């Protein structure tokens, strides 16, 4: 919240708009503890996003389960969906989240246009059991 | 002057021989009951005015041989403001107690939770399935033989934790 607020203001870096549907979004920011029961829901949200898409895992809980090393908590969202950038911290500072978004922008700027057609990318998605469409 | 818990238990104890009533250090009344009589006892207590089921849960004492599991009921008498805790000891080979969902509708989810975490069966429950954990979980995580840590994680090596 502070990241989007007036003091830190992520909008200065071109990320102004929150999307209310996964279908219109480019970046999925996952923050907070994800329980195992929520895993399939998270995967569905990821599935619904259109390519190209990026994932930012914010905080220790989303990235690794954090202190919640227990039977009900997913030990990192990368068990369910691929993650582009991890933001460490418990909780992370707003500056860190902004840096994470900047890293995503860096990826978006520099990645090859054909990266998402590559066999490696398809193999990676398949390893997560995410359906790929052959063009 | 309103009645005491002892008086309520006295009234029904002629029908139920297994009730062992005691008072703990905090003034809470505890009653141990066998699993054959628990349904009848709760039914009678409800008729007597214990009309609110505060809690229903389980516990696991692996060292108590023959009585490894316990189902705990908390009842509240709203008119006299009395509380009583009822406990049923169960052996791990016969983990079954009668469901009280027909007495207290609120018992439904609490019995499902107890089943989910301890694997205790509630006979005649309308839908005894997992309620909080993922459906494909193949164990009952609050049992003492399962570590609290997530056993499926691969990145935690014992040597990093001095084990």
Domains delineated in chain B: 5-149 (3.30.460.80)
* pLDDT at site B16: 87
Band (A134; pLDDT cuts 50, 70, 90)? low
> Count of alpha carbons within 13 Å of B45, Cβ hemisphere only?
35
A67 reaches B (C-beta below 8 A)? no
List the structure tokens of B159. 């040597």
List the structure tokens of B58. 């389980």
Q: Between chains, do B148 and A70 touch, taking CB under 8 Å as contact?
A: yes
Written in H, E and C, the secondary structure of B27-62 is CCEEEEECCCCHHHHHHHHHHCCCCEEEEEEEEECC
B79 reaches A (C-beta below 8 A)? no
Q: Which of B54, B22, B57, B16 is nearest to B34 (CA)?
A: B16
Beta strand spans in chain A (E)? 27-31, 54-58, 85-87
A5 assigned to some structural domain: no
A30 assigned to some structural domain: yes
The four Cα atoms B46, B48, B51, B55 give a dihedral, to 10 degrees, of -60
Task: Label the pairing between strands B20-23 and B29-33.
Answer: antiparallel
A135 assigned to some structural domain: no
Band (A135; pLDDT cuts 50, 70, 90)? low
B149 reaches A (C-beta below 8 A)? yes
Is a pLDDT exceeding 70 seen at residue A126? yes
Work out the average pLDDT over A50-63: 91
For the whole model, what pTM was predicted? 0.79
B94 reaches A (C-beta below 8 A)? no
CA distance B150 to chain A (A): 4
Residue with tokens 């990026």: A54
CATH number for the domain that contains residue A113: 3.40.50.12280
Interface probe for A, chosen from B117, B134, B155, B163 (most Cβ of A below 10 Å), is B134
Q: Between chains, do B156 and A69 touch, taking CB under 8 Å as contact?
A: yes
* pLDDT at site B83: 93
Residues of B in contact with A72 (CB under 8 A): 132-133, 141
Q: Between chains, do B148 and A71 touch, taking CB under 8 Å as contact?
A: yes
- Are the C-beta atoms of residues A111 and A85 closer than 8 Å to each other? no
A2 assigned to some structural domain: no
Check: complex ipTM more than 0.90: no
pLDDT digits (tens, 9 = 90+) for B35-83: 899 999 999 999 999 999 999 999 999 998 889 999 999 999 999 999 9
Band (A65; pLDDT cuts 50, 70, 90)? confident
Domain span holding position A66:
10-127
* pLDDT at site A57: 94
A75 assigned to some structural domain: yes
Q: Between chains, do B141 and A37 touch, taking CB under 8 Å as contact?
A: no
Q: Between chains, do B133 and A71 touch, taking CB under 8 Å as contact?
A: yes
* pLDDT at site A84: 93
Counting one residue from A and one from B, how many pairs have CB atoms under 8 Å apart? 32
A65 reaches B (C-beta below 8 A)? yes
Is a pLDDT exceeding 90 seen at residue B154? no
CA distance A116 to chain B (A): 28
* pLDDT at site A20: 85
Q: How many domains does chain A divide into?
A: 1
d(CA A101, CA A14): 10
């Amino acid at each position: 919240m502070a990241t989007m607020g007036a003091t830190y203001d992520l909008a200065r870096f071109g990320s102004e708009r929150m999307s209310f549907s996964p279908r219109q979004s480019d970046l999925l920011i996952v923050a907070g503890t994800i329980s195992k029961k929520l895993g399939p829901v998270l995967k569905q949200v990821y599935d619904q996003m259109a390519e190209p898409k990026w994932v930012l895992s914010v905080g220790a809980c989303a990235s690794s389960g954090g202190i919640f090393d227990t039977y009900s908590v997913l030990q990192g969202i990368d068990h369910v969906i691929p993650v582009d950038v991890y933001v460490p911290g418990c909780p992370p500072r707003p500056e860190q989240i902004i840096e994470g978004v900047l890293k995503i922008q860096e990826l978006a700027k520099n990645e090859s246009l054909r990266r998402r057609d590559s066999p490696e990318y398809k193999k990676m998605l398949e390893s997560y059991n995410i359906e790929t469409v052959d063009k | 002057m309103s009645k005491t818990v002892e008086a309520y238990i006295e009234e029904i104890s002629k029908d139920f021989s297994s009730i062992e009533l005691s008072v703990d250090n905090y003034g809470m009344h505890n009653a141990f009951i066998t699993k054959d009589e628990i349904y009848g006892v709760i039914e009678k207590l409800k008729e007597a005015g214990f009309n609110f089921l505060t809690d229903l849960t389980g516990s696991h004492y692996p060292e108590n041989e023959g009585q490894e599991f316990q189902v705990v009921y908390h009842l509240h008498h709203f008119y006299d403001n009395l509380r009583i805790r009822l406990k049923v000891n169960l052996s791990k080979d016969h983990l079954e107690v009668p469901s009280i969902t027909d007495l207290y509708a609120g018992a439904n989810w609490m019995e499902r939770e107890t089943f989910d975490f301890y694997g205790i069966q509630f006979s005649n429950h309308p839908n005894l399935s997992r309620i909080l954990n993922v459906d494909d979980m193949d164990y009952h995580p609050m049992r003492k033989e399962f570590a609290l840590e997530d056993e499926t994680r691969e990145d935690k090596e014992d040597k990093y934790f001095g084990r």
